[in-house]
Chains A and B, each alone.
Chain A
Amino acid sequence: DVKVTQSSRYLVKRTGEKVFLECVQDMDHENMFWYRQDPGLGLRLIYFSYDVKMKEKGDIPEGYSVSREKKERFSLILESASTNQTSMYLCASRAPGGARDEQFFGPGTRLTVL
């Protein structure tokens, strides 16, 4: 089974702090994604990565950056956390060309910025 893990289920940070959210997948997938999930808005793509050291902006990249130094790990960085970044953050991975073209999701990190 594909496994996608995220470093924390719950996180509380203060405004202005630098925040790191880590995601690890164990199936050698090339593609990885970071989304935020907000009630009434569904999932919105922040950043994605086609492969190691590659990254592309999604629909809402402002205030975020990412790092992908190793294939299995994709990090989301909030350079200076703000209260409007309070949200659920979901990581996903995908193998291009898979039979169902499925994205496999992690359990999510619920981030609260005070």
Chain B
Amino acid sequence: AQTVTQSQPEMSVQEAETVTLSCTYDTSESNYYLFWYKQPPSRQMILVIRQEAYKQQNATENRFSVNFQKAAKPFSLKISDSQLGDTAMYFCAFKGIQGAQKLVFGQGTRLTINP
């Protein structure tokens, strides 16, 4: 079974700083997808970024980028020029392409951006 681990329960940084959230996963599948989701306080969870395992290039969406190394299996999220609106719970998630294709989530990291 796939497992996803986020070992940082909480982080805080100052506005405009760069912050990196860590995630590791374990799977025997050769092809899969990885996601970072964001859950702002009292608001709905939204997708931040997606990485396809068969792509060599790390995904980037504006200020958000990932560090993906398929062999070593870390999957970190880097937020550049952090903003107050980035304050949220962040969840890393895995989805295989075999079987039920369900999302497996990590425990979450609560990120606070301080003014």
C-alpha spacing A113/B108, complex, angstroms? 24
A to B contact number (C-beta, < 8 Å): 42
Chain B residues contacting A102 (CB-CB under 8 Å) are: 47, 50
Chain A at the B interface: SS class: strand
Contact A42–B46 (Cβ < 8 Å): no
Contact B44 A44 (CB under 8 A): no
Assess whether A42 is in contact with B45, with CB atoms less than 8 Å apart: no
Which A20-47 residues have C-beta < 8 A from chain B?
Answer: 33, 35, 40-45
Question: In the complex, which range does the number of interface residues on chain A fall in?
Answer: 20 to 34
Residues in B neighbouring A100, C-beta threshold 8 A? 47, 50
> B44 near A106 (CB under 8 angstroms)?
yes
Using known A-B contacts A42-B105, A42-B106, determine if residue A105 contacts B46 with beta carbons closer than 8 Å: yes
Binding site for B on A (CB under 8 A): 4, 33, 35, 40-45, 48, 56, 58, 90, 92, 100-103, 105-108
